Amino acid sequence: MSAPVVDARAAEVFAALGDATRLTLLATLGTTGAATATRLAEPLPVTRQAVARHLRVLEDAGLVRSTKHGRDVLFRVDADALRERAEWLVAVSSAWDRRLADLRTRAERP
Amino acid sequence: MSAPVVDARAAEVFAALGDATRLTLLATLGTTGAATATRLAEPLPVTRQAVARHLRVLEDAGLVRSTKHGRDVLFRVDADALRERAEWLVAVSSAWDRRLADLRTRAERP
DNA sequence: CGGATGTGCAATATAAATGTTGCACATGCG
DNA sequence: CGCATGTGCAACATTTATATTGCACATCCG
């Protein structure tokens, strides 16, 4: 019962990032601004439905947002959320870095 | 042929982070310094073999390292590698942030 | 030596992720 | 209106991930 909710949420975000196709989608959205699932699927070797599913995973993880414009749905990167996650990871890894350095120091100089 | 190798590698790292059990293992290793698979499995609701598999995933992703000490194998976090990945993600997300802000500005002031 | 403990590998079971096809429906435009 | 285009949902196939059990082997220690 001690497993923090943060872990589950963080895991979801990283899992969303843990797919080459989704990283490609993010990169495309990051440079073009916004696009529909159909348009994003064109240069990729997968169907439109597969891309739509990937986009849904990214949206569930809070990494992209979608807005409906008449007939089509436009997806765009939520760069703020992404940077926020990245900075959290930096903080955690830095903390471990210091912690481990501290453990090493104590081991050498008890 | 244009898919960068970086993506596949990055996806592997993020996929390794995309599991609550593995995040827990990293957190434990980050605070205790080093431990065996058997010891790490004790407080978890999974078997030692499952933990060993998770550790192998983390090691393949370059996030942990292992050293053999006689009978047991000690795992420890490679905090450097972890922070490096995190900083890469920050750089990418920041770049997209600026890029998207730029796109917005152009759209508003053509 | 001999029991206790830690590892690794194999076989297996189950769940989840990924991708496809097919179809119904909504929206834009000539 | 009527056709082209974009979406969403469902059914299905396939692969991958996760976890378990069982067993053989190595290593530590009384």
User: Closest nt to B45 (CA→C1')?
Assistant: D19
Mean confidence (pLDDT) of chain B: 88
In a domain, A102, yes or no: no
The number of distinct structural domains making up chain A is: 1
The mean predicted confidence, pLDDT, of chain A is 88
Given a cut of 90, whether residue B86 has pLDDT beyond it is no
Interface residue A77 vs chain B (CB under 8 A): yes
Interface with chain A: mutation pick from B28, B100, B103, highest number of A CBs within 10 Å: B100
Examine the pLDDT at B89 and tell me if it is beyond 60: yes
Q: pLDDT for A36-50, tens place per residue?
A: 999 999 999 999 999
Q: Using the beta-carbon criterion (under 8 Å), do A96 and B77 form an inter-chain contact?
A: yes
Closest-CA residue of chain A to B27: A96
* A58 within some domain: yes
The rounded percent of chain A whose pLDDT value lies above 90 is: 59
Residues in chain A: 110
Query: Does B86 fall in a domain?
Result: no
Residue A97 pLDDT > 80, yes or no? yes
Q: In chain A, whose CA is at the least distance from the CA of B86? A: A90
- Nucleotides of strand C lying closer than 7 angstroms to a protein CB: 5-10, 17-22, 26-28
Asked if residue A38 is part of any domain, the answer here is yes
What integer is the mean pLDDT of B66-76?
Answer: 95
Query: What range defines the domain where residue A32 resides?
Result: 5-78
Question: pLDDT tens digits, residue range B5-47?
Answer: 567 788 999 999 999 999 999 999 998 889 999 999 999 999 9
B16 three-state secondary structure: helix
* Residue A105 counted as domain residue: no
Confidence band (pLDDT; 50, 70, 90) for B64?
very high
Using the Cβ of B93 and the Cβ atoms of chain A, whether some distance falls under 8 Å is answered with yes
- Domain for residue B95, yes or no? no
Tell me, what's the pLDDT at A3?
47
Token output for A72: 């089509």
Put simply, whether B3 touches A (Cβ < 8 Å) is: yes
A22 has pLDDT over 90 = yes
Give, as one character, the DSSP assignment of residue A33: -
- Residue B1's pLDDT band (boundaries 50, 70, 90)? very low
Which pLDDT belongs to residue B109? 55
A86, B103 Cβ separation under 8 angstroms: no
Asked if the structure places residue B104 within a domain, the reply is: no
- Closest-CA residue of A relative to B88 is A86
We report the CATH number of the domain holding residue A15 as: 1.10.10.10
Look up residue B70 and give its two tokens: 């006689």
**What per-residue string of b and e applies to B80-100 under the rule 16 or more CB within 10 Å gives b?**
ebbbebbbebbebbeebbebb
| Residue B108 placed within a domain | no
